[in-house]
Amino acid sequence: MNQRRTRIVAIIVIAALILAGGTLAFVSYLASRDGAAPAPASGPAVVSAARLGGVAPAAVGEPAQCDDGNLATTSYAPAADTLSRPGASVRDIKARGRLVVGVSADTLLMGARNPISGRIEGFDIDMVRLVAKQLLGDEDAIQFRVITSAQRLDVLESHEVDLVARAFTMNCERWETIAFSAEYLHAGQKVLVTRDSPATGIADLGGARVCAPEGTTTIERLAQFPDVEAVPSPTHTGCLVLFQQGRADAITGDDTILAGFAAQDPYAKVVGDAISDEPYGIGVAADRRDLVQYVNAVLDRAKEDGTWAQRYERWLTPLGDAPEPPVSVYGR
């Protein structure tokens, strides 16, 4: 009875947090995080759809035709003077004085609103803060636009944001309409189930209701498991609520996201080996190649000087010790 009461309270708390602005994290969890204060959230203000205006390449591949999934991680190489002599798109942002970024506010560890400070923080957020620091001299010079997974392409194609950093898997289909930075984090799709579940992976969930956010590669991949009933939700938060209400038996998603869920729900666990490769890139409008190159130069420096590893250890230790950063592959 106590366990049931605890789960009911958890559902009520999370539902209240959603209504208050999409917060997913437990106060006690985020309050324990140290380090520099994250950038203030700007709220859901819509940016005008009008034009928003020395690191050597880490690796160079063959020109990418993107007829193979492996080529989806091939980006535009920065020049040695990219940071000191940026292109027109980057100069427009500098003149504006702020970087506009589409992010999540309900993905603990990656991008979630801190209920104490009201700010958005996580590994994704730290990556774009590095860009803002290099470009504008202030890592807080960011206007966050909170978006769902399904909105990631639209806000880039319409130039409502400069960048999207929202657990964004790079694939050939998305390269047809937008561009990506080099890979900055490698994830894999797993499943989250109740702690007393005997399931050891998604193959054991025949007949189960499995939730995943709309507009993601995650829910598309559920079609490979015809015995599973896919339960779509607009957000990751929605999946967690459905799971805690008993309206979904499991959640599938990237291990980066599920680790945040498990940190919030003591009655849940992540199981199984990854059933996919999910290379994350920062999304950029297709016609802003110079901005892609600038972001790549910043990411390459962070990978080389230890900053990437420091940010990983700050946020993603639930996944294990920090691995080597993903190699930047260039050749477009």
- Give the pLDDT of residue 67: 59
Question: In the CATH hierarchy, which fold is given to the domain comprising 33-186+279-330?
Answer: D-Maltodextrin-Binding Protein; domain 2 (3.40.190)
Q: Encode the chain (332 residues) as per-residue pLDDT tens digits.
A: 434 434 444 443 444 343 334 433 333 333 333 333 333 333 332 232 233 333 333 343 343 456 555 689 999 999 999 999 999 999 999 999 999 999 999 899 999 999 999 999 999 999 999 999 999 999 999 999 999 988 999 999 999 999 999 999 999 999 999 999 999 999 999 999 999 999 999 999 999 999 998 888 888 889 889 899 999 998 888 999 999 999 999 999 999 999 999 988 889 999 989 988 899 999 999 999 999 999 999 999 999 999 999 999 999 998 889 999 999 999 98
Helix (H, G, I), strand (E, B) or coil at 215: coil
- Residues 192, 198, 199: CA angle, nearest 5 degrees: 45
- Give the pLDDT of residue 70: 66
Query: For residues 41 and 111, is the Cβ–Cβ distance under 8 A?
Result: no
- Give the pLDDT of residue 218: 87
Helix (H, G, I), strand (E, B) or coil at 259: helix
- Give the pLDDT of residue 216: 85
pTM (two decimals): 0.78
Distance CA 177, CA 154 (A): 10
Task: For domain 2-28+189-271, give the CATH number.
Answer: 3.40.190.10
- Give the pLDDT of residue 320: 86
Query: For residues 72 and 66, is the Cβ–Cβ distance under 8 A?
Result: yes
Q: 255 Cβ partners below 8 Å, 6+ apart? A: 187, 188, 189, 190, 270, 274, 319
Domain ranges of the chain: 2-28+189-271, 33-186+279-330
Same fold, 2-28+189-271 and 33-186+279-330: yes
Nearest C-alpha neighbor of 150 from the set 220, 46, 250: 220
- Give the pLDDT of residue 126: 98
| Dihedral sign from CA coordinates of 252, 160, 14, 261 | positive
What's the start-to-end Cα distance of the chain, in Å? 59
